Chains A and B, each alone.
Chain A
């Protein structure tokens, strides 16, 4: 549906996007991951023709991504903002019309979405009178009002309270079920892991991981064991099959070798400490990411301890 091919963008002397390629299928929720400053937003801006690429192409259903397909896309930018002095409904109608909706259609759709987000009573209020979270909902409506086959959302969850996060996730699923695609960017790996079918992980402008979530875990993940016990666990570091053990007060995080026999490890522990919990954990995207690119700001131990 959307094909991004060898994109490249250079600002002054900084390579912001370096040879980024991925493809999105209809009915897919696609996560564009990466730490802050990785090049996610730049990639999105190039896809949307807001920025011009220095190299590479973007195509939508085999056509170059140009004016003709503008109305097929909905976009929520990272920075949140609307016309502060304008009324809610007017604002939504304007963006609807800009995406090619007839005014009457735009109006019925706008009212339906406002109802869904419990904002119907605010429709004649000015945007600035709304809370931040509500403004974000309005902005989301402006992105989805024309029911586009492709939604591009830059950090859609930042600043949303848990209740509204659930609401957004429900809508994600509905869009997916209707055979439409969503591209969303986030720097929160756990979120991407729960939501996306496929993903592309960017770091410093380059793709470091891509594919379906299952594939990625299979390819890069090593299982680990989470152990809780009483006694002296220092021996765990030297157990066979354990690559590394991170020790806490009465608990340990064991990174396992790919071919480790978990039963043997469990058996080896018996008698040496009083076990309370022994759990084999699938690798998180977070840990895979750290494994691949390292963690510049936080050490893994801190991250797990949190």
Chain B
């Protein structure tokens, strides 16, 4: 058996059994679910108990209809009203500031969820305030706003002498739904789904590279610190050793991706939701593989000259920062997927795979961009492997003080 395959087999089998790998394998999909699905699940979850909301109404004629409407419109699953509206101070003569300070106390002490102060705008534009500890309850605020609006409209109509029936007839209910378009035609899924799939791919690629990168650096450090590396390089050439490591690591990455893909397919079949089209999935596999190989070389080059665990952590954290950049860019990228700066960043080899993982689910980049970046990555992987091989040959045998960055680059270029 060739020595390369011996090394590859060893690297693969020893790492696939390691706790770090198993944790990454299972934890990553779980993290995805927790971070991606849970918040929207919670958002969509209906209340199970009645919430008490207060109202301060200096006009005196809005509180009554508001209380009626809020209680009759929204109901819990068990038929009880979702909201009970308590009149805290209602009438033309009330002292609003003192009523507000009393109500604040009630809200802070959790006696009421929050309360609404209707501004005395009369028949002009109205102002209202919702005061609460939990102003994140967007659903409650939305419903309050809607109900208050319709109550105000009714009041206005009455003063103008229009019958409530006409008002009802005039009220339009509109639900604006975003639909994502692409060359292939209309696609299902709104903002959340696009964002979520881009986010899933980014995180998956990030975790894939980081877990194997860290394992790689750690194992090189172990081999260096206890001098196993001397036995290794006296048994095979450093090129064979590195090739074996890259091969073993790639098999590891494929295992991980395969496992996640199975989970993805299972989720698709089970819940009937598919995040991506097969075409997108295939492109993802391409960029994952390219990114993985590129970063394998980067980790070998950056990791093999190191001598201590602390330095390894430091170097890893720099690389983490590089990998995490596109996650920070997710929102602006979704707002404007055609921006020039996005395209420019995509052509920086360190960012290419992650930028593509971000961009493809949002909007399929032009064919030339895909071809050009794939070509760019292949060239860069080749160069990085050669450079990493040179650094590796010298680096794995260096002990004591770690070399300076400039020195490492000199090794990589001159050999």
Chain A residues within CB distance 8 Å of chain B: 45, 48-51, 67, 70-71, 73, 75, 77-86, 90, 94-95, 97-100, 102-103, 142-143
Residues of A within 8 A of B231 (CB): 75, 77, 95, 142-143
Residues of A within 8 A of B233 (CB): 49-50
Q: CA of A103 to CA of B6 in the docked complex: distance in angstroms?
A: 10
Min Cβ gap B401→A in Å is 12
Min Cβ gap A20→B in Å is 19
Q: Which residue of B lies closest to A81 (CB)?
A: B226
Q: Is the CB of B1 within 8 A of A103?
A: yes
Q: Which residue of B lies closest to A86 (CB)?
A: B14
Q: Is the CB of A98 within 8 A of B397?
A: no
Q: CA of A184 to CA of B226 in the docked complex: distance in angstroms?
A: 20
- Within 8 Å of chain A (Cβ to Cβ): is B228? yes
For this complex, 9 residue pairs linking A to B, each with C-beta atoms less than 8 Å apart, are: A49-B233, A50-B230, A50-B397, A77-B227, A77-B230, A81-B227, A86-B14, A98-B7, A102-B1
- Within 8 Å of chain A (Cβ to Cβ): is B80? no
- Within 8 Å of chain A (Cβ to Cβ): is B73? no
13 further interface pairs, Cβ-Cβ under 8 Å (given A77-B231, A81-B228): A49-B234, A70-B234, A73-B234, A75-B231, A77-B230, A81-B227, A83-B222, A90-B14, A97-B1, A97-B6, A98-B235, A99-B235, A100-B3
- Within 8 Å of chain A (Cβ to Cβ): is B232? yes
Residues of A within 8 A of B237 (CB): 67
Residues of B within 8 A of A94 (CB): 6, 10
Min Cβ gap B307→A in Å is 13
Residues of B within 8 A of A85 (CB): 14, 18
- Within 8 Å of chain A (Cβ to Cβ): is B225? yes
Q: Is the CB of B234 within 8 A of A75?
A: yes
Min Cβ gap A130→B in Å is 14
- Within 8 Å of chain A (Cβ to Cβ): is B236? yes
Min Cβ gap B235→A in Å is 4
Min Cβ gap B11→A in Å is 10
| 9 pairs of A and B residues whose beta carbons are closest in the complex | A81-B226, A98-B235, A79-B227, A48-B234, A97-B6, A77-B230, A77-B227, A94-B10, A75-B234
Q: CA of A81 to CA of B223 in the docked complex: distance in angstroms?
A: 8
Q: CA of A97 to CA of B232 in the docked complex: distance in angstroms?
A: 11
Q: A94-B6, A98-B3, A103-B1 are in contact. Are A50 and B234 (CB under 8 A)?
A: yes
Min Cβ gap A87→B in Å is 9
Q: Is the CB of B228 within 8 A of A83?
A: yes
Q: Is the CB of B227 within 8 A of A78?
A: yes
Residues of A within 8 A of B230 (CB): 45, 48, 50, 75, 77
Min Cβ gap A92→B in Å is 12
Q: Is the CB of A82 within 8 A of B226?
A: yes
Residues of B within 8 A of A50 (CB): 230, 233-234, 397
Min Cβ gap A21→B in Å is 21
Which of B228, B230, B236: most chain A Cβ within 10 A?
A: B230
Chain B window 1-31, contacts with chain A (Cβ cutoff 8 Å), 1 for yes, 0 for no? 1010011001001100010000000000000
Residues of A within 8 A of B226 (CB): 79-82
Q: Is the CB of B234 within 8 A of A51?
A: no
Contact of B236 among A70, A79, A103 (CB under 8 A): A70
Residues of A within 8 A of B7 (CB): 98
Q: Is the CB of A70 within 8 A of B235?
A: yes
Min Cβ gap B233→A in Å is 6
Q: Which residue of A lies closest to B241 (CB)?
A: A98
Q: CA of A145 to CA of B190 in the docked complex: distance in angstroms?
A: 63
Min Cβ gap A242→B in Å is 49
Min Cβ gap B388→A in Å is 20
Residues of B within 8 A of A71 (CB): 235
Residues of A within 8 A of B235 (CB): 70-71, 95, 98-99
Q: CA of A98 to CA of B237 in the docked complex: distance in angstroms?
A: 11
Min Cβ gap A145→B in Å is 11
Min Cβ gap B266→A in Å is 32
Within 8 A of A (CB), among B196-245: 222, 225-228, 230-237
Q: Which residue of B lies closest to A135 (CB)?
A: B226
Q: Which residue of B lies closest to A143 (CB)?
A: B231
Q: CA of A97 to CA of B8 in the docked complex: distance in angstroms?
A: 12
Q: A50-B397, A98-B7 are in contact. Are A83 and B234 (CB under 8 A)?
A: no
Q: Which residue of B lies closest to A75 (CB)?
A: B234
Q: CA of A70 to CA of B349 in the docked complex: distance in angstroms?
A: 38
Q: Which residue of B lies closest to A78 (CB)?
A: B227
Min Cβ gap A45→B in Å is 7
Contact of B14 among A75, A83, A103 (CB under 8 A): A83
Residues of B within 8 A of A78 (CB): 227
Which of B3, B13, B231: most chain A Cβ within 10 A?
A: B231
Min Cβ gap A16→B in Å is 14
Residues of A within 8 A of B222 (CB): 83-84
Residues of B within 8 A of A80 (CB): 226
Q: Which residue of A lies closest to B235 (CB)?
A: A98
Min Cβ gap B309→A in Å is 14
Min Cβ gap B119→A in Å is 69
Residues of B within 8 A of A45 (CB): 230
Min Cβ gap A206→B in Å is 24
Residues of A within 8 A of B13 (CB): 90
Q: CA of A43 to CA of B234 in the docked complex: distance in angstroms?
A: 14
Q: CA of A277 to CA of B232 in the docked complex: distance in angstroms?
A: 55
Q: CA of A102 to CA of B222 in the docked complex: distance in angstroms?
A: 26
Q: Is the CB of B6 within 8 A of A98?
A: yes
Q: CA of A83 to CA of B232 in the docked complex: distance in angstroms?
A: 12
Min Cβ gap B194→A in Å is 42
Contact of A98 among B14, B18, B227, B232 (CB under 8 A): B232
Q: Which residue of A lies closest to B232 (CB)?
A: A98
Min Cβ gap A58→B in Å is 12
Q: CA of A86 to CA of B234 in the docked complex: distance in angstroms?
A: 21
Q: CA of A85 to CA of B18 in the docked complex: distance in angstroms?
A: 9
